[in-house]
Amino acid sequence: MESKFSINYHLTGGETGPEGEMPLALLAARIIEIATLHADSLGVGYKAMISDDQAWVLSRLSIEMERYPKIDEDYSIATWVETFNRRFSERNFEIFDAEGHTIGYARSMWAAINLKTRGFGSLDVVSAISDVVIDRACPIEKTPRLTDPETADKSLAYTFTYRDLDFNRHVNSVAYIRLLLDAWPLDFHDRYRAKRIDVAYIHEARFGDTVELRCCDDGGATSAVILKPGDEPIPVTRMKISWEKR
Amino acid sequence: MESKFSINYHLTGGETGPEGEMPLALLAARIIEIATLHADSLGVGYKAMISDDQAWVLSRLSIEMERYPKIDEDYSIATWVETFNRRFSERNFEIFDAEGHTIGYARSMWAAINLKTRGFGSLDVVSAISDVVIDRACPIEKTPRLTDPETADKSLAYTFTYRDLDFNRHVNSVAYIRLLLDAWPLDFHDRYRAKRIDVAYIHEARFGDTVELRCCDDGGATSAVILKPGDEPIPVTRMKISWEKR
């Protein structure tokens, strides 16, 4: 059982964004990927959960970067489990450049969903995770309690399409991040990069759901919520991005 | 100089589509990626071209699959160059399952763009490719001449956003395929899979361009064109998908 697990990657041209760097959405995808692969390698992944009619769900994600890998650069991601209990498991990540220097960290919080009741499940079936918990905190702050922006500087409608779906037949966790980043034009991204993103996953969205993205800029940060409209709008995802000048 | 180049992959949960298989758009991305990595390894990639104020552009792409990799399945892609001249290079691909059985093939045609004139460039600067040409044809048909559909069963407007851009600051070659696949609802994709796709890349689209996707279904296939509207609409990409029942 490998308590710490890491993968080497190479940022290919086709994966690189218009600023010559790794897009934040791809980084989020890699982080979720290595979490999945580590869990699989420990026998506590998808197969272990589905045998108990459960699935892993990502509840919170925070990423904070000093810098992003550049085109054609090698990088690596290491992951370890910091806490584990019946309801939640916290998994951390460290991102390195080719020379082994740390360029960022991420935190994530995972829970189980009971696929029969669609409610919270139990992590008892994967309790072997306890054996790989490492008492090493992640040096970035935990995901804060995210609230809905009081006012909306921006309000955009979006309907989830085929490209947004994952194998659970719900909207992919990364699709919400892509949607948020799309709220700014290219010249904004050319001037600012995301220093940190916090995401709280609250309700699942599905194919064909039309949602409203509401954003409020507050100095160097943006608070956002994705809502399913209705008499009582349902929050799908709350997010916060801190920007820094390039 | 490795004439034949291959990479092993693993289809992770986060990459898998709602039918439990590799999405066609991801397969196209992998095919472009391995072409890029092989060219880089031969010293005839991005760096060689940019030193001559040129860049590689994908002109045509055809993919034909017997089946797609499934969730958590290992697969590999091999690539080789079939032809090379001053203007074009044809590069083929074979896709294998974990046991080494062929599950699909792809063909691609690449040209050079002169970054100063934005016109056709010359492949003289990468003539070392001649040394790795393998006289092995790809068993699938070449990309046919694609024409605009005469009538449009479907017409959809789409505006390219930040997510669609690549490091050349143009719309990513894969974004057009994603846009086409999004023209059908989930239940269609649940019933049919793309047996083959042909793509002809004609003009580049950029951030903020609003295009029209026109599709015409003809029995088991769909012809499509992405147009920049105007007095004389400009074709951006022509595509054809052949469907098969799952």
Mean pLDDT of chain A: 95
pLDDT at position B161: 97
Interface test with B, best of A71, A167, A176, A201 (most B CBs within 10 A): A167
Interface test with B, best of A40, A154, A163 (most B CBs within 10 A): A163
How many other CB atoms are found less than 10 A from the CB of residue B219?
A: 7
Helix (H, G, I), strand (E, B) or coil at B227: strand
What does the pLDDT look like over A39-98, one tens digit per residue? 999 999 988 999 999 999 999 999 999 999 999 899 999 999 999 999 999 999 999 999
* Phi and psi angles of residue B173, each rounded to the nearest 5 degrees, phi first: -55, -30
pLDDT at position B206: 96
Closest by alpha carbon to A196, among A143, A146, A136, A137?
A143
* Phi and psi angles of residue A215, each rounded to the nearest 5 degrees, phi first: -125, 145
Residues of chain A numbered 29-48 and touching chain B (CB < 8 Å): 29, 32-33, 36-37, 40, 46
Closest residue to A14, CB basis, from B36, B71, B208: B36
What does the pLDDT look like over A102-111, one tens digit per residue? 999 999 999 9
Contacts B14 to A, Cβ<8 Å: 29, 32-33, 36, 166, 172-174
Closest by alpha carbon to B177, among B11, B58, B28, B14?
B28
Q: Is A116 on the interface with B (CB under 8 A)?
A: no
Which tokens in the block code for residue A55?
A: 């699935």
Cα–Cα distance measured from residue B3 to residue B80, given in angstroms and rounded to the nearest whole number = 6
Q: Is A157 on the interface with B (CB under 8 A)?
A: no
pLDDT at position B150: 82
pLDDT at position B1: 63
Per-residue pLDDT of chain B (246 residues; tens, 9 = 90+): 678 899 999 998 889 999 999 999 999 999 999 999 999 999 999 889 999 999 999 999 999 999 999 998 999 999 999 999 999 999 999 999 999 999 999 999 999 999 899 888 999 999 999 999 998 989 999 999 999 988 899 999 999 999 999 998 999 999 999 999 999 999 999 999 999 999 999 999 999 999 999 999 988 999 999 999 999 999 999 999 999 999
Q: Which residue of B has its CA nearest to A175?
A: B163
Cα–Cα distance measured from residue A96 to residue A77, given in angstroms and rounded to the nearest whole number = 6
| A16 contacts B166? CB cut-off 8 A | yes
Write the CB contacts of A236 (distance below 8 Å, at least 6 apart in sequence): A176, A202, A203, A204, A205, A211, A226, A227, A228
Is the confidence at residue A139, as pLDDT, over 70? yes
What does DSSP assign to residue A208? T
Amino acid identity of residue B12, one-letter, is T
pLDDT at position A70: 97
Sign of CA dihedral B146, B147, B153, B155: positive
What does DSSP assign to residue B14? G
When pLDDT is cut at 50, 70 and 90, the band that residue A168 belongs to is confident
Return the H-helix or E-strand segment holding A201.
Answer: strand A192-201
pLDDT at position A174: 97
Q: Rounded to the nearest 10 degrees, how much is the dihedral formed by the CA atoms of A144, A146, A147, A151?
A: 110
| A32 contacts B14? CB cut-off 8 A | yes
Cα–Cα distance measured from residue B97 to residue A144, given in angstroms and rounded to the nearest whole number = 44
Contacts B185 to A, Cβ<8 Å: 162, 207-208
Is the confidence at residue A118, as pLDDT, over 90? no
Closest by alpha carbon to B31, among B2, B5, B54, B3?
B5
Question: What average pLDDT does the segment A116-128 reach?
Answer: 92
Strand bridging mode A154-159 / A88-97: unpaired
Write the CB contacts of B69 (distance below 8 Å, at least 6 apart in sequence): B9, B11, B21, B22, B75, B95, B97, B103
What does the pLDDT look like over A147-165, one tens digit per residue? 998 889 999 999 999 999 9
Phi-psi bin for A189: left (phi > 0), alpha (psi -120 to 50), beta?
alpha
pLDDT at position A179: 98
Closest by alpha carbon to B221, among B190, B188, B196, B246?
B196
CA distances from B15 to A174, A223, A237 (A): 11, 28, 21
Q: Which residue of B has its CA nearest to A11?
A: B33
Helix (H, G, I), strand (E, B) or coil at B242: strand
pLDDT at position A1: 63
Angle at A162 between CA A62 and CA A165, to 5 degrees: 35
Closest residue to A161, CB basis, from B20, B182, B208: B182
Closest by alpha carbon to B162, among A21, A7, A221, A50?
A21
Report the length, in residues, of chain B. 246
